[in-house]
Structure 1
């Protein structure tokens, strides 16, 4: 096998030239790169190839395909070259030639034209007219032969609609001596068949330019309709039953905060419906609209204590309570029930409705509710806050430090209360005992149905305290205050403390300002202290104004405390020495046993007095 060394700058051009030289398909040319010289910028300066011709035995169809492709390339090249020089048109009115002005008039070009006429198989050409066109009538269309419709057969087209008129397919059949397929011919055929939509003009150009025959080609595609989206129901809360322990800023987690309850408020959105859509219209190649299939609708399940908005887009809560999700069906429950104890398996409770604990509340846990809180067993040293009532059926048992507390806007009821701090906006009632506890009640404190003992601690009631026993024979300090609301007493104490502080500040300010004022009168004031004197004078004015405001507020509170002198303490059995009785701002420290007595403020004597118990047990 003979091999050749050839140099050049472009690998592809070298291979083409070799294939043309030996008149073989490019696939027969084999080579290897011997050397590649590059410029400073990395471009190829000179390429040295070792080349040989290898006539490999390949599939006949493959060879034929290569040859056909080669012939097509040559034909297109010649067509372009000839179009630049002369153009032959086959029309119904005859065969015409047009020669360009820049095409030289000589015998060589005359032979070239005749050769092309022979190749095109032009029937009975008038060679005289060909010469006139070349030598005398350049740029003009000159008739050189007659048209014979049985002789000149143009390319033919077949068109077919498929897939419910969503596709238009054409097949072009090659001409016999006649004209090749044209774009106008295809477009006319499409128009005659009312194919108006989705026509691919790029494909049509490719068919014409590459003369693609005997092949089905899609030249127009419709736009399918798009089915509408189905309606979706979206729950706007995380209803999973997973424990959600939160961490504070330091990264510390409170294992009592499990966040198992989903609280919702009246009017809050619980579920949203994303409405089904109608879909998007389509269009077939005939321009006919295709109506889409609408999406499937889906209804929102309306659970207990919920309702739909007017447009049915949202499900909202009709009450405050707990959101409950049962297999996607949402409801709101006004009562949250714990079947056992409030411990680490349940965690702290924060609920918008009422809470029912069937067990006990362990130490350190917190319950916050907007409704009532009912506990079947004991409350240990825990925290309970509610806008309703609290009922503890087995009692409240805290610790001496009183860290746990109960704060209720309504009543608080328990079998017993021990080492507890309670703040009630209503009545506090213990069946058996109230021991060593701090209790504030807006209305009454009652301990009379069972043993009825109040021992130790501090009890404040806005109206009355009713009990059987107060204190013990050992003189345990027990403070009972009635007739003034706890917040009024506390506020009065705070104002007294603030008045004491501001009065001392007034004394200091007055002394400093008076000294500087005296120096100013005597002309001895250092100029650098003038601003200080000005500031002290301004401060005296502000302090005096504040004192007036506090005294006015103090007077209002004193009036309220005086009104509270109507409160009474009723003792059905015995009140032991060591008990401190307060009614309004008046106080009585008992040094003897009082039996079956009612303590009240005697307006005539201006002191706390007693009389036989006014109430029946």
Structure 2
């Protein structure tokens, strides 16, 4: 296959065009291309003669056809070309046009020199160029230079070989009650078991444009394995294994392994408990005692007016009557038969059959399910959703439920953004001074003691600011995730909500005027709206 092409002839009678037809399905020459060529070389032509000549050439059987475009005598024309650069500067394609019938051809070296003058210095296809000059194919595009695109790498990732799902839910029995004895919320591990493996980041490779410019790949995120006690890091720092038989948990991207402290009751026989791992209480926790554990706390009996703090989950099989002073505080989830006269704070979810006159706060959601499934009295807050069967009381007990991110989250993000800007401005001011002093030191120039002291202080200050910027950005990312997750906050009532109940979503609220069944409360157009469930 070969494209058709044209050639200019300079005769005593004027300027002629020699039109050569394509072979084996090649592209034909267009009138527009010939016209652009003539105009580009300053040749005045008769458009009517050009159009008529092309039409006549198409109608004859000859492979070549000559026709006149003007009666002017013009000088001979050298072989020429049109160079097209792709916007990303990765490809330069060229289209050559033959010299006039008695004109001179260009040499390969001349064309290569032209490319150099134009700044094209990388990825030049010398073999293709030499092949063209040895056997020209006119009016046909070919690649004269090709850059190398950047190869994007990939972020580092960590694969965990245990269940990291913080949204495990207790199963419902056939009678509608919650089965608190088979929660499966603890991941057990054995000594020598692989817990996690780090797959390092691939930084990718730089690319180069045809102008020799370096094109960098996108930045990748680095990670490293974070872990606590009872865990061994492999020599290549890519794998962690358990040192003990116990349980494993992932808390805020850090792996914890611990064995379990088991007691019958928390009372005068044990005193207060403070433990690095998890705690299992087979009986009850009595009033005024406390448990503080880094891992999970599981209580198979009842909790009275006690204080329980946990770095993992808190599970109370028979519920809690806090007597107005009981406190549950956890970085994980809370699962309890019931919560009465207690203060509960969980960064994860709260799941229970009933909440009575309590202050309950959850970082994600609150599910009040089971046969009773009621919230009566007190204040109950969750970031994303509250699901309940019966909300409020026909007796008029003050009941407040809240969902959505705290307005202080937005204020904190704005404050962090301002701090980042201030730190970057300060670095921009000090960095030139540091760079100048570093250059002097490299050149062997000795600084005066006071100058060296000032230089070291500035360097420490810049490092401190860079570290703080990184911390601020990480905090902004986590706060933004909270804000994004709370955009669809809602309260779902699968049974009945009683009049007098106050519903708060973000910064707006409403008081239910009439009892309603099977409904949902969401924020729409700046107000709390009630819709069908």
Q: How high is the TM-score relative to the length of structure 2? A: 0.39
- Greater CA radius of gyration, 1 or 2? 1
Between the two structures, name the one with larger relative contact order (CA 8 Å, sep ≥ 6). Answer: 2
The two structures have a TM-score, normalised by structure 1, of 0.34
